[in-house]
Amino acid sequence: QAIGYQLPKDFLWGAAAAAHQLEGAWNFDGKGVSIADVMRLGDKNHPRVIDSKVEKGQIYPNHWGIDFYHTFAEDITLFHQLGLTCFRTSIAWTRIFPNGDEAEPNEAGLAFYDRLFTRLRENGIEPIVTLSHFEMPLHLVQVYGGWRNRKLIDFFTHFAATVIQRFHHQVKYWLTFNEINNQTNYQDPHPLFQNSGLQLTVDENSRQQMFQAAHYEMVASAKVVQLAHAIDQQVQVGAMLNMSPIYPDSDDPATVMAAQRAMQTRFYYGDVQCLGIYPHWLLLDWQHANYQMDITEDDYRQLQAGRVDYLGFSYYMSFATHSLTDPLFTYNEQNNLVDNPNLEKSDWGWQIDPLGLRYAMNWMFDRWHLPQFIVENGFGAIDQVDYQGKIHDRGRINYLRRHILAMEQAVTLDGVPLLGYCPWSVIDLVSASTGEMSKRYGFIYVDQDNLGRGSKQRLKKDSFYWYQTVIHSGGRLV
């Protein structure tokens, strides 16, 4: 890609979502129960309760989503009006393999995505598809213990081969595991469950279990890269990291070193998926901790042969760490992070840092030398509908504007190759961390509350008209 003063002509302007957060229809047409279907409604002070099965009388917002399963045709008309040239969503594994371990897929599930991708293409919108976005079959958790089990590699690659074989003419860009590195925060049960379907007892070593589960996922991802290329050389498979860069909170060298190790820890997944190697510091860390890891010689070969074609990432915020005295500088996401007094926060406490996006893009390109794709970036906020049915979401526009400018500078001034940009989200949907509807991200408002009540009517926010102009001008008018 040539370095210039503009974004490339074929730059993809899109928006993102995920199956379990918008489709609803959780038990329609043969769909199985996913891990998202047993997570109750929470809020910023009350983590979502995870049930072992669907309980009568409990509130599970992903069961209804925004009913996109039934409204996608009309919703895509709105996406087209918005001017999207791509749309990122995921395939719910449970629509294709309800339990995850079947040999034969559920045709009704495949038919749904066929209709969805066809409708997108008819509207000139390129689908970008995540294979695993926090929605694995619950059965695989109950019977196999989730990704702690090596068998999951085969189940996942069978699922991936089935959908890539079926849809490779319609879908060129795939992503394997959404935000695979959220589980760096292994002290919190939610990312372990959402990423890997892990439910651990207190006497299990959650740090070691996390590394093991992530290893199986990355081997599976590497196999998917290879099988996808064997099916169709045009297909591009990406990794997907949650990029929240971690700064030192002072210029004290012990803080700078702590920040370096924190970055190495939070992003080693990128080393494995982009370079096909485990970093030495981590192998030594495992030795030091006396972890017996199940990693075979063949696994190493797979990782090397299945390096990703591009790097997808989400960007919402940056973190900062204090200094450490431990000679290994072991990163602990629950204890080491501190507020950055230079930055403002969203109502959910997420630090707003547009320049951090440019910093992160440079950091990742220096390290992995791969084309990038921003597959999420956005601002969760409460929106008010006024008496005329208008939504003046100035805070969201301001957030996105500043991030787009930083992204453009990373491309035009720093020369980072970038395939596209997908804000989260095109339309209001169920929050992944809290299950709330009221933590809104969309350009399109959905009249529905946290309990699923409302007309489900779609309304264009001010940000809809603003982003339309951004896209139309090729990113010049922000």
In whole angstroms, how close is the CB of 39 to ligand P53 at the nearest point? 11
Question: Is 75 within 8 Å of 458 (Cβ atoms)?
Answer: yes
Comparing CB distances to ligand P53, the nearer of 27 and 346 is 346
Among 314, 351, 372, 463, binds ligand P53 (CB under 6 A): 314
In whole angstroms, how close is the CB of 403 to ligand P53 at the nearest point? 14
Our finding on whether 269 is near ligand P53 (CB under 6 A) is no
CB within 8 A of 308, min separation 6: which ones?
Answer: 176, 221, 225, 237, 238, 239, 273, 274, 370
State the Cα–Cα distance between residues 467 and 424, nearest whole angstrom. 12
Of 111-130, which residues contact ligand P53 (CB under 6 A)? none
- Could you confirm whether 376 is annotated as catalytic? yes
Q: What are phi and psi of 421, to 5 degrees?
A: -140, 125
Our finding on whether 433 is near ligand P53 (CB under 6 A) is yes
What single string gives the DSSP state of each residue in 177-212?
Answer: ETTGGGGG-TTSHHHHHHHH-----TTS-HHHHHHH
Comparing CB distances to ligand P53, the nearer of 227 and 422 is 422
Number of residues that bind ligand P53 (CB under 6 A): 15
Tokens standing for residue 336: 């080491």
- What Å distances lie between residue 98 and 13, 155, 163, CA to CA? 33, 12, 14
Stretch that binds ligand P53, among 157-165, 208-216, 337-345, 425-433 (CB under 6 A): 425-433
Beta bridge partners of 440: 381
DSSP 3-state assignment of 454? coil
Catalytic residue among 23, 217, 376, 436: 376
In whole angstroms, how close is the CB of 82 to ligand P53 at the nearest point? 19
CB within 8 A of 178, min separation 6: which ones?
Answer: 18, 90, 130, 132, 133, 134, 240
State the Cα–Cα distance between residues 218 and 37, nearest whole angstrom. 25
Stretch that binds ligand P53, among 71-79, 98-106, 390-398, 432-440 (CB under 6 A): 432-440
Among 316, 331, 399, 445, binds ligand P53 (CB under 6 A): 316
In whole angstroms, how close is the CB of 158 to ligand P53 at the nearest point? 24
Catalytic residue among 135, 179, 217, 436: 179
State the Cα–Cα distance between residues 37 and 437, nearest whole angstrom. 15
Among 139, 266, 439, 440, binds ligand P53 (CB under 6 A): 439
Among 431, 448, 450, 463, binds ligand P53 (CB under 6 A): 431
* 6 alpha carbon, distance to own chain's centre: 27
Comparing CB distances to ligand P53, the nearer of 184 and 236 is 184
Using CB under 6 A as the criterion, what x/- string covers residues 155-194 for binding ligand P53?
-----------------------xx--x------------
Encoded amino acid at 260, one letter? Q
Our finding on whether 106 is near ligand P53 (CB under 6 A) is no
What is the radius of gyration, based on Cα positions, of the chain?
21
Comparing CB distances to ligand P53, the nearer of 439 and 460 is 439
What single string gives the DSSP state of each residue in 141-173?
Answer: HHHH-GGGSTHHHHHHHHHHHHHHHHHTTT--E
Our finding on whether 424 is near ligand P53 (CB under 6 A) is yes
Stretch that binds ligand P53, among 58-66, 324-332, 407-415, 430-438 (CB under 6 A): 430-438
Our finding on whether 376 is near ligand P53 (CB under 6 A) is yes
Terminal Cα distance for the chain, rounded: 23
Tokens standing for residue 386: 């006024």
State the Cα–Cα distance between residues 125 and 127, nearest whole angstrom. 6
Other Cβ atoms closer than 10 A to 144: 18
In whole angstroms, how close is the CB of 15 to ligand P53 at the nearest point? 12
Of 7-26, which residues contact ligand P53 (CB under 6 A)? 18, 21
- Could you confirm whether 107 is annotated as catalytic? no
**Catalytic residue numbers, as ranges:** 179, 376
Chain residues in the site for ligand P53 (CB under 6 A): 18, 21, 178-179, 182, 242, 314, 316, 376, 380, 424, 431-433, 439
